Structure 1
């Protein structure tokens, strides 16, 4: 049976680095308060004039450079903060990479977007609709954050990650993408959202300039994120024919250090198995998992042969998990 395998990865964050002290110039908070409650100390921020597709194209270029090939026949982009409401961002990324003419489309599942998009990408390859797909998660949530909102201003950063997924015949080959656990619950749509960019705002007569920022119910999100990722992780591990003891490393969506540690405790797993890089990146929405995968691989925490559990939770609400045996990937700059 035709399989789909991860064969390359790349990542990119903008050079501008914003500290908690800079954030606190506009809110009543402190570096210590932010660090102790979220684990975040810095976040990378796109400069004026830099858009989501720029970040996505840079991450995609790095994945293609590491692969040593530009033989791509589809581009998929996961983003909740695209260049425009319409058209989608994927064709722009493809154009910037010189891949014009191949089919492209966006996937929107907020912070769960990498998991949903990876499942979609693998399905395209397994279904013989593409032989080699570039899948990019690119986000610029910082520009959708109210700098005067104490609850959200410290949380978000910009960045992008990209993977290449290719056809594979050996079902046991490292990097082969297996089963996914995916789910959504639309009753939680108001827990976190950007309300001013859709038909609901226009239909209600809301001023887009007054409702363009991210809003969230942090307390309830914490509870649902922990519960959903814990449950989904157990399902994904069981689908892979493994136990939690078989997992070498966990890459969870990087929303909050306390959430990740709570998931580890609920799963009764060693917290040291959970790779955390939110301290320097903040919450980069769907880009957080590929950014963490790339960094963990670069620093040797994630090595070829490791069984990695990937799990995410996002607005919608949405959640998803999968398990991959990490392949021996080519290296690239990050």
Structure 2
């Protein structure tokens, strides 16, 4: 008998503080930096994002998203036997944010670790959890994407600070006799690390280098469009299916123009693409599970439908997961 993994519950969490584009325009104006709602919307599709208040961390958002996913799956925290948190904004240098989430959920003993693939982090984490379940190493996994990107933004750079937001999304992935995750595909190419990075680190109690996000927007856009098409076609080929058999596309929520391009190349209409970037901004590793949970809870994504998840991120990383709900 073959062993598969299936998503049995989804959850998400956002900080309480919502910032519209008008709020961002006002904030930047205080430093003499000009931007506008029209400028932001035209280039990105973003209209709002959420920022965590001081004292709120990735683990807080991740734990709340996890609780909602566990409830949706009809499970209890005690039944979880694996926790993977995808994040680029951990609570601490160490221990992992996953162990902090584990503590906040009142779980002890199961493996818990972080995974760093920036905006592709959730795709990577889901791929790892699927492999561990198929191998028999776990039966009920929590896979979480959680970020507080507002802490690493340069508010003197209007081209990047308006793009990102904070949040978390989570899924419960369980062992099953029925196929859930049908295929996965992940990649990286370190030759492109400079186009999206935070080039700083801690040494001797001080931050060396620059601890704020740097991005070459045009280079990221050009690379993202190409690799998203490649990974989507690769994962569908592995599953033995075509793009016409995709019910829903849930892409990384970075830029609506990138998502429109990805859909066009797969010949998918935009009404079959889940878009939350307008309200959440780019929440990095949290963006895909946030969007997935939103669509599950509003009834668009239903049991038995096929879903293509795909993302790109710093590193440069990219990948996709094709699954049946």
Please indicate the TM-score interval, normalised by the length of the shorter structure: over 0.9
Aligned 8 A contact 1:74 1:132 in 2: yes
Instruction: Tell me if structure 1 keeps the 8 A contact 2:229–2:262.
Output: yes
| Cα distance between partner residues in 1 of 2:256 and 2:12 | 21
- SS of the aligned residue for 1:102 comes to coil
Task: Give the SS at the match of 1:152.
Answer: helix
How far apart, CA to CA, are the structure 1 residues paired with 2:250 and 2:92? 30
The structure 2 residue matched to 1:184, chosen from 160, 181, 188, is 188
Distance 2:219 2:109 in 1: 44
What is the CA–CA distance in structure 1 between the aligned matches of 2:209 and 2:234, rounded to whole Å? 41
Aligned pairs for 1:210-229 (under 5 A) are 211-229=210-228
2:8 match: 7
Cα separation, 2, equivalents of 1:209 and 1:29? 30
Q: Which structure: greater strand fraction?
A: 2
* 1:109 to partner: Cα distance: 0.6
Paired with 2:62 and 2:197, the residues of 1 have a C-alpha distance of 22
By how many angstroms is 1:209 displaced?
7.2
The residue matched to 2:161 in structure 1 has which SS?
Answer: coil
The answer to whether 1:146 aligns with 2:145 is no
- Tell me what 2:244 maps to: 245
Greater shift after overlay, 259-268 or 153-162? 259-268
- Alignment deviations for residues 217-255 of structure 1 (CA, whole Å, 9 cap, x no partner): 000000111100011001111111111111111000000
Does residue 193 of structure 1 match 2:197? Answer: yes
Does 1:18 pair with 2:19? yes
Q: Aligned partners of 1:235, 1:280: CA distance in 2, in Å?
A: 30
Cα offsets for 1:244-293 (capped at 9, x unmatched) = 11111100000000111111222233222211110110000011000001
- State which drifts further: 63-72 or 143-152: 63-72
Residues 1:272 and 2:278 are matched in the alignment = no
Structure 2 matches for 1:33-52, cutoff 5 A?
33-52=39-58
Alignment equivalent of 2:103, drawn from 95, 98, 104: 95
Question: CA-atom RMSD, angstroms?
Answer: 1.5
Q: Secondary structure at the match of 2:201?
A: coil
Determine if contact 2:13/2:168 at 8 Å carries over to the other structure. yes
* Mean Cα deviation higher: 223-232 or 127-136: 127-136
Question: What SS class does the counterpart of residue 309 from structure 2 fall into?
Answer: strand
The alignment's TM-score, normalised by the length of structure 1, stands at: 0.91
CA–CA separation in structure 2 for the residues paired with 1:148 and 1:220: 21
Tell me if the contact between 1:23 and 1:147 (Cα under 8 Å) persists in the aligned partners.
no
Unaligned regions of 5+ residues in structure 2, if any? none
